[in-house]
Structure 1
Amino acid sequence: MITIDTNYGKIVFETYDADAPNTVKNFVTLAEKGFYNGLIFHRVIKGFMIQGGDPNGNGTGGPGYKFADELDPNTPSYKAGYKKGIVAMANAGPNTNGSQFFIMTEDYPLPNKYTIFGKVTSGQDVVDKIANLPTDGNDRPISSVTMKTVSVE
């Protein structure tokens, strides 16, 4: 279980270790190193998702490396698709995963090109609160949404 403690409340999600083992390992390792602590959710699109995990705070940054997608069509998460509460990796194309991730705020028919690695189990109301914040023309929340800490249980 991962807990993201934000200035708007806590979001807890389970990880899909069997479906996306390398992605889960990467996220857990970054969280345990404190990588996400103090970062923001820099992109919020109402009716779609919230995105964070960029040390630059603008969608251009990452941990300094990239890793491969885990998109096995036989896994339950791949078959289920991008439903409300799903946690998946953001990327800039095939095999460009790093640290940025998004949480779905609604069911949405995205193409299966973003590795799904978890699902919110508690705090979806916090996700919804963040998703409804006013944003600027670049989908950035007017009021910062900070991940105070990201911890692993």
Structure 2
Amino acid sequence: MKPFIQKLAYVYAFCLTALFIGIMIDTDPAITAIDQFIAEQVSAKTIDKQTDNWKQSLPKPPQVAFAEDKSYHWQLVTNKGPITIELLHQYAPMHVSSTIYLTQLGFYDDLLFHRVIPGFMAQGGDPTGTGRGSPGYRYEGEFHPDASHNKPGMLSMANSGPNTDGSQFFITFKQTPFLDGKHTVFGEVTEGLDTLDELELFGSRGGKTQEELKILTASIVVK
């Protein structure tokens, strides 16, 4: 299959899944609360997607309450394939709230994995693509003994020190226990480890990617 057609197939499959379970998203209290916050900020013009740098000047979202009987999944369609991540709201509610908020805004669409180190991790979520960008707000880490960097496919938040978490995340290629207590684990890959392997192939020891590695679309699925 040609790469362009393959990318369209990935997007179509994920959109179709979202369509079938969209009613669950519409009625979920956490999603509703975040969407309401977005609507209020748009009305107040503190979110203005018509400006060039809107992804770098966003207001900080609230931490929302999550339904105990539901699971929240972050679906990334990359130019190397799809990845599905179950978000660990029970351990890192603010990180999951922020991720859902940014995803609902379309923040992650078309952003790069700007730093990929084989045998370590793939990092993305920087609106500037430089490794120095942020969404315009920061918050503190959330650490729990049951959420650790103990296997490949763990979703963790990048930072530059305490209280600097924002939008940049990384997904591990292997267990990295030395990051526990320094970086918040807030998700785990449930589908798409093969895509993660593909991303790893195009990294380098210094982190510079051999070709453009991009998130085409990001979406939230509630089950």
Normalization by structure 1: what TM-score? 0.92
Deviation, structure 1 residue 72: 3.4
Asked whether 1:106 is paired with 2:106, we answer no
Is the counterpart of residue 60 in structure 1 residue 120 in structure 2?
A: no
For the aligned residues, what is the CA RMSD? 1.3
Q: Structure 1: state its 5+ residue gaps.
A: none
Instruction: Name the one with the larger helix percent.
Output: 2
Aligned residues: 148
Q: State which of 164, 184, 189 in structure 2 corresponds to 1:115.
A: 184
* 8 A Cα contact 1:82 1:110, kept in partner: no
8 Å contact kept, 1:82–1:104: no
Residue 77 in 1 paired to residue 147 in 2?
A: yes
| Unmatched segments (≥5 aa) in structure 2 | 1-72
Match of 2:211? 143
Q: Which residue of 2 aligns with 1:41?
A: 113
Q: Rg bigger for which structure?
A: 2
Percent of aligned pairs sharing the same letter = 41
Distance in 1 separating the partners of 2:87 and 2:97:
10
Q: CA deviation at 1:134?
A: 4.6
Task: Note if contact 2:118-2:203 (Cα within 8 Å) is conserved in structure 1.
Answer: no
Alpha-carbon distance between aligned partners in 2 of 1:99 and 1:82, rounded to the nearest angstrom? 22
- Taking CA–CA contacts closer than 8 Å with sequence separation of 6 or more, which of the two structures ends up with the larger relative contact order? 1
When residues 93 and 41 of structure 1 are mapped into structure 2, their CA distance, relative to the original with a 3 A threshold, is same
1:9 matches 2:70 = no
The separation in 2 between residues aligned to 1:29 and 1:88, in whole angstroms, is: 17
**Deviation at residue 92 of structure 1 after TM alignment:** 0.3
Q: C-alpha distance in 2, partners of 1:134/1:39?
A: 16
- How big is the shift at 1:110? 2.0
CA contact (8 A) 2:117 2:203 kept: no
The amino acid of 2:195's aligned partner reads V
TM-score by length of 2: 0.64
Runs of 4 or more, structure 1, over 6 Å off, are none
